[in-house]
Amino acid sequence: MKIPRNIIPLTFAFGMFWGSGAMADIKIGITISATGSGAAIGIPAKNTVALLPPTIAGQPVQYIVLDDASDATRAVSNARKLITVEHVDALIGSSIGPTTFPLVDIAAETKTPLIVMNPATGLVEPMDEKRKWVFKILPHDTLLAKGIAEHMAKNGVKTVAFIGFNDAFGENWYAAAVKTLNERGIKIIAKESFTRTDTSVSGQILKIVAAKPDAVWVGASGTPAVLPQKALKERGYKGQIYHTSGVASMDFIRVGGKFVEGAILPAGPIIAASELPDSNPIKKLALDYIQRYEALNKIPYAAFGPHLVDSVHLISDAVPAALNVAKPGTPEFRAALRDGLESAKSVVLINGILSMSPTNHSGYDDRARVMVRVENGAFKLIR
Amino acid sequence: MDATTLLLLGQDSLISGSIYALLAVTMVMVFSVTRVLFIPQGEFVTYGALTLAALEAGRVPGTAWLLLGVGVVAAVVALFRLRHALSLTTAIRIIITDIGLPAVMLLIVQWVAPMKLGLIPEMILTLALVVPLGPFVYRIAFQPLAESSILVLLIVAVGVHMGMTGLGLVFFGPEGYQTSAFSETVFDLGIMTVSAQSLWVVATTAALLIALYIFFERTVSGKTLRAAAISRRGARLVGISTDRTGYLAFTLTAMIGAVSGLMIGSLTTIYFDSGFIIGLKGFVAAILGGLNSYPLAAAAALLVGTVESFSSYSASAFKEVIVFTIIIPVLLWRSLFSPPAEHHE
Amino acid sequence: MNPKHPGVVAVILILVILTIPLAPIPDYWISLLNNIGLFSLVAVGLVLLTGVGGMTSFGQAAFVGFGAYTTAVLSTTYGISPWLTLPIALVLTAAAALAIGSITVRLSGHYLPLGTMAWGLAFFYLFGNLEFLGAHDGINGIPPLRIGHHDLFDGRAFFPVVWLVVLAAMFLTTNLLHTRLGRAIRALRSGTIANEAFGIDTAQVKLIVFVYAAVLAGLSGWLYAHLQRSINPTAFGINIGIEYLLMAVVGGAGHVFGAVLGAGIVTILKDQLQDILPKLIGGQGSYETIVFGFMLVVILQSARNGLWPLIINAFPAGPEKLPVPSDDSLAQRAMPKSGAVPVLDVRGICKSFGGLVAVNDVTFLVGAKEIVGLIGPNGAGKSTTFNLVTGLLRATGGEVLFRGSRIDAMPARDIAALGIARTFQHVELAPEMSVLENVAIGAHIRGSAGLLAGMLRLDRAEEKCLLGEAARQLQRVGLGEYMHRPAGSLALGQLRILEIARALALDPALLLLDEPAAGLRHLEKRELAALLNKLRAEGMSILLVEHDVEFVMGLTDHLVVLDFGKLIAKGVPAEIRKNPIVLEAYLGGVV
Round to whole Å and give the CA distance between A232 and A216.
9
Strands C230-231 and C139-140: antiparallel
pLDDT above 70 covers a percentage of chain A that reads 94
Host domain of residue B100 = 3-334
Please give the mean pLDDT across all residues of chain A. Answer: 84
Q: Is the pLDDT of residue A243 over 90?
A: yes
Q: Is the pLDDT of residue B97 over 60?
A: yes
Round to whole Å and give the CA distance between B100 and B172.
25
> Which of B319, B320, B322, B324 has the most A C-beta neighbours within 10 Å, making it the best mutation to test the interface with A?
B319
Chain A contact for C252 (CB, 8 A cutoff):
no
Range B176-201 average pLDDT: 77
Q: Is the pLDDT of residue A21 over 50?
A: no
- Is the residue at B327 inside a domain? yes
Task: Locate the domains of chain A by residue range.
Answer: 7-139+291-363, 141-267
Q: What is the pLDDT of residues B119-169, one digit of tens each?
A: 888 899 999 999 999 999 998 888 888 877 777 888 888 889 988 988 888
Q: What is the pLDDT of residues B286-304, one digit of tens each?
A: 888 877 778 888 888 888 8
Q: Which amino acid is at A263?
A: A
* B-C contacts at Cβ under 8 angstroms: 162
| Domains A7-139+291-363 and A141-267 equal at CATH topology level | yes
- Is the residue at B340 inside a domain? no
Interface ipTM > 0.90:
no
- Taking an 8 Å cut-off on Cβ atoms, the answer to whether A202 and B12 are in contact is yes
Q: Are A72 and C234 within 8 A, CB to CB?
A: yes
Q: Is the pLDDT of residue A348 over 50?
A: yes
Sequence-ordered strand ranges (E) for C454-565: 510-514, 541-545, 558-563
Q: Which of B156, B164, B324 sits opposite C300 (nearest CB)?
A: B156
Q: What is the pLDDT of residues B59-80, one digit of tens each?
A: 888 888 899 999 999 999 888 8
The candidate with the shortest Cα–Cα distance to C373, out of C579, C580, C500, C550, is C550
C203: which chain B residues are within 8 Å (Cβ-Cβ)? 340
Q: Is the pLDDT of residue B195 over 90?
A: no
Which residue on chain B is closest to A229 by alpha carbon? Answer: B268
From the options 3.40.50.2300, 3.40.1410.10, 3.90.550.10, 3.40.50.1970, give the CATH code of A7-139+291-363: 3.40.50.2300
pLDDT above 90 covers a percentage of chain B that reads 12
Chain C contact for A73 (CB, 8 A cutoff):
yes
* Predicted pLDDT of residue C174: 86
- Is the residue at B342 inside a domain? no
Chain C contact for B316 (CB, 8 A cutoff):
no
**C:97-116 residues touching chain B, CB 8 A cutoff:** 102-104, 106-111, 113-115
> Which of A1, A48, A70, A76 has the most C C-beta neighbours within 10 Å, making it the best mutation to test the interface with C?
A76
Residues in chain C predicted with pLDDT less than 70, given as ranges, are 1-6, 107-110, 274-286, 315-329, 338-339, 586-591
B15: which chain A residues are within 8 Å (Cβ-Cβ)? 200
Round to whole Å and give the CA distance between A341 and A363.
11
pTM greater than the 0.90 cutoff? no
Residues 6 or more apart whose CB falls under 8 angstroms from that of A65 comprise: A30, A31, A32, A46, A49
- Is the residue at B343 inside a domain? no
HSE (side-chain half, CA atoms, 13 Å) at A288 = 11
Range A278-307 average pLDDT: 87
Residues 6 or more apart whose CB falls under 8 angstroms from that of C302 comprise: none
- Read off the pLDDT band of A3 (50, 70, 90): very low
Q: What is the CATH number of the domain that holds B34?
A: 1.10.3470
Round to whole Å and give the CA distance between B284 and B287.
5
Domains in chain B: how many in total? Answer: 1
Chain B contact for A251 (CB, 8 A cutoff):
yes
Sequence-ordered strand ranges (E) for C413-476: 420-422
In CATH terms, the superfamily for domain A141-267 is Response regulator (3.40.50.2300)
- Is the residue at B344 inside a domain? no
- Is the residue at B209 inside a domain? yes
Q: Which of C103, C249, C297 sits opposite B141 (nearest CB)?
A: C297
Q: Are A199 and A222 within 8 A, CB to CB?
A: no
List chains touching C (3+ CB pairs under 8 A): A, B
Q: Is the pLDDT of residue B47 over 90?
A: yes
- Is the residue at B133 inside a domain? yes
Sequence-ordered strand ranges (E) for A137-269: 159-165, 187-194, 215-219, 240-243, 264-267
